[in-house]
């Protein structure tokens, strides 16, 4: 049994199917009878990069987006708070972004929505540290996309769904949160900082630029003025800061204040 088959939640495990010859049949478009059926009753975890992209799509600060559209959950067995998209309080727990014409945040839809009908497991190679991936199909009974004639390789699907950038950003964050010392749990002081620097980048921007941060720390290799303006540079800075704050390592260095 592969890692994903043994560690996936039971609900998903029963629907996983191996991709036998490296390709699969699937298409999703407004013509399928189940169109938008999958955008309901979801436990949709958001990564920090998902939060950033969705907030920008909706012209909201990350703080406003988190307040309006998410719940904070602590998943069973996890020492860390996670952010879930809050479904609407209707009888079908509908995603707040679904419309009869499809997803209204399609260009910046979350990683999980892009990845379906695949499930991705990733781990680091023990010796050289590169990310190893494996993919399965998640076969939902209601999903008629599998009846469509279009075939894809995994690589074609990743490219078509714009997943490379999401994987790269999500991998950088996963690298930190799966560190054995982080998995042991965080202190009460560390948790609010972890949440802010992971998910609430606009508040993190205030922490960096409206405090004495730059008097106290150097960040090797980061152009701080670019971080002020460019969300992706700020995202990288937030991960560097968390690496220092939680693990005492990385490019953030206390300034010599003698």
**Residues that bind ligand SF4 in the complex, under the rule CB under 6 A:** 28, 32, 34-39, 42, 95, 97-98, 103, 105, 109-110, 113, 116, 142-145
Indicate the residue among 106 and 216 with the shorter CB distance to ligand SF4. 106
Q: How far is residue 141 CA from its own chain's centroid?
A: 25
The answer to whether 151 and 25 are in contact (CB under 8 A) is yes
Indicate the residue among 9 and 79 with the shorter CB distance to ligand SF4. 9
CB of 108 to ligand SF4, least distance (A): 9
The answer to whether 168 and 149 are in contact (CB under 8 A) is no
CB of 27 to ligand SF4, least distance (A): 7
The answer to whether 105 and 99 are in contact (CB under 8 A) is no
Radius of gyration of the chain (CA): 20
Altogether, the residues listed in the chain come to a count of: 258
Indicate the residue among 35 and 217 with the shorter CB distance to ligand SF4. 35
CB of 42 to ligand SF4, least distance (A): 6
CB of 216 to ligand SF4, least distance (A): 39
The answer to whether 88 and 96 are in contact (CB under 8 A) is yes
CB of 180 to ligand SF4, least distance (A): 32
What's the token pair of residue 29? 């478009």
Residue 142 makes CB contacts below 8 A (sequence gap 6+) with 34, 37, 38
Indicate the residue among 98 and 201 with the shorter CB distance to ligand SF4. 98
Indicate the residue among 72 and 101 with the shorter CB distance to ligand SF4. 101
Euclidean distance between CA atoms 193 and 204, whole angstroms = 9
């Amino acid at each position: 049994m592969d890692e994903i088959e043994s560690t996936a939640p039971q609900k998903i495990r029963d629907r996983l199917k191996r991709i036998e010859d490296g390709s699969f049949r699937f298409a999703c478009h407004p013509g399928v009878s189940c169109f938008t059926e999958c955008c309901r009753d979801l436990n949709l975890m958001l990564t920090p990069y998902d939060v950033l992209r969705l907030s920008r799509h909706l012209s909201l600060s990350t703080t406003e987006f988190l307040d309006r559209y998410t719940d904070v959950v602590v998943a069973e067995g996890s020492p860390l708070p996670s952010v879930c998209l809050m479904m609407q309080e209707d009888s079908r727990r509908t995603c707040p972004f679904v419309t009869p014409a499809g997803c209204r945040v399609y260009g910046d839809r979350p990683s999980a929505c892009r990845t379906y009908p695949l499930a991705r497991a990733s781990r680091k190679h023990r010796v050289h540290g590169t990310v190893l991936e494996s993919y399965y199909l998640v076969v939902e009974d209601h999903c008629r996309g599998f009846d469509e004639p279009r075939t894809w390789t995994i690589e074609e699907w990743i490219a078509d769904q714009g997943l490379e950038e999401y994987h790269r950003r999500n991998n950088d964050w996963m690298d930190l949160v799966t560190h054995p010392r982080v998995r042991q749990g965080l202190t009460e002081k560390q948790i609010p900082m972890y949440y802010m620097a992971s998910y609430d980048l606009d508040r993190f921007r205030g922490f960096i630029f409206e405090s004495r941060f730059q008097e106290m720390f150097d960040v090797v290799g980061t152009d701080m003025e670019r971080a002020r303006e460019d969300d992706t540079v700020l995202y990288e800075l937030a991960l560097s800061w968390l690496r220092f704050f939680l693990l005492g390592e990385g490019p953030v260095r206390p300034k010599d204040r003698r």
